Structure 1
């Protein structure tokens, strides 16, 4: 089930956005619910009892604008995906510091909605994949590790080491085999010798990535684009 909120202080446009999103989602095999609101306050009140996965959010609204609304939404659901929509192109650049998934002008919305929905569904799949488990066998026993708790993996002699918030695990598989089995868009190569969980990247430098636990991993040029795209 995908829960989506649309919030725009112009009711007509809020209804139009919801209708266009509904038309696109019907092309996919997903169950979904779309609610629309005409103020950030109204949205926040409802979000407390029904957390949304995706929000399409107008920036310029009275009382509480889109920026402030998103900050409040993230207190309850940090990984909510936000698509900012605005009439004012001048608001696009200041929006980047709030790390929305996408930014659109209202003039472009209808022509770009197909691509927007496709991308946001792919990103939601990656987020949900982090809440699944990877199972390893140790000393004849299986142990399941939540993918969200994986920090990074590194190639070692005769296998790989998986570094997690729950400890370090030796795996007798190549790093490429491990990558294929993890099958999550946020667990990516940063170097041929390392896989990193982008959610644990704190800073990106020219040749390294700094993780939130202080570890530095090598970053090769062939993987820079993918890391930056996922790092928000």
Structure 2
């Protein structure tokens, strides 16, 4: 079940956004639990102090107390994978929203047209990410790594090194073998020796892939065009 929060200081707008979220969940055949907040401080306390988890947060930027932009920055350490949709009447916030790597920015003057598609895209992406794990099993350990937490996978001699949210894990085998076992569209080769998770790709520039964890990885010349096409296709379908 997806956990979704709505935060807007205007009760009528918060209620309207709840209806939009309910409709988007229905359209995506997804099940979600929705929490509505009219004070940003209450949402902050529930997450930071009480450990509430949310997969998706719909935030109005212009709010008393902590505004949406400030709140998003403070919540990132607690919810590194949360999808945030900003709603605002101030176009100049779009650049800041991009820098925060939020999922989508919806201007209020175009809300009716763009909010529903933003919600549905976010929900579909969350459904893709949810529940998949890669299992490493040896004589001495059993380790399960959620797909969504994997940043990239590299060849490391006779081993394969998986860099993910909690560090690095090594598994015996070839990179192609791991790729085949993952069997998921979000993983692509950017080089003969490296696979990245498209969920975490922020930018491709100057033959480098930049990930949201700060990693930058080289793309081989032979893979560059294909990588760009795969990323564009993935973003086009899911984002």
TM bin (shorter chain):
0.7 to 0.9
Match of 2:111 among 85, 109, 112: 109
SS in 1 for 2:62: coil
Distance 1:66 1:225, change over 3 A: farther
State the shift of 1:187 in Å. Answer: 2.9
Contact kept? 1:135, 1:142, Cα under 8 Å: no
Which region of structure 1 is more displaced relative to structure 2, 147-156 or 22-31?
147-156
Give the whole-Å Cα distance in 1 for the aligned partners of 2:209 and 2:2.
Answer: 33
Question: What 5-or-longer segments of structure 2 have no aligned partner?
Answer: none
Q: Provide the alpha-carbon RMSD of the alignment.
A: 3.5
What's the counterpart of residue 35 of structure 2? 35
Distance 1:225 1:109, change over 3 A: farther
Give the whole-Å Cα distance in 2 for the aligned partners of 1:154 and 1:179.
Answer: 11
Give the whole-Å Cα distance in 2 for the aligned partners of 1:161 and 1:181.
Answer: 15
What CA deviation, in whole Å up to 9, does each residue of 1:49-97 have, x standing for no partner? 3221100101111221111111222232111110001122232223221
What's the counterpart of residue 51 of structure 1? 53
SS in 2 for 1:195: strand
Distance 1:24 1:218, change over 3 A: closer
SS in 2 for 1:22: helix
Aligned residues: 222
Give the whole-Å Cα distance in 1 for the aligned partners of 2:98 and 2:15.
Answer: 26
TM-score w.r.t. structure 1 length? Answer: 0.76
Match of 1:163 among 153, 161, 164: 161
State the shift of 1:184 in Å. Answer: 4.3
State the shift of 1:104 in Å. Answer: 0.5
Distance 1:149 1:112, change over 3 A: closer
State the shift of 1:171 in Å. Answer: 2.1
State the shift of 1:3 in Å. Answer: 1.0
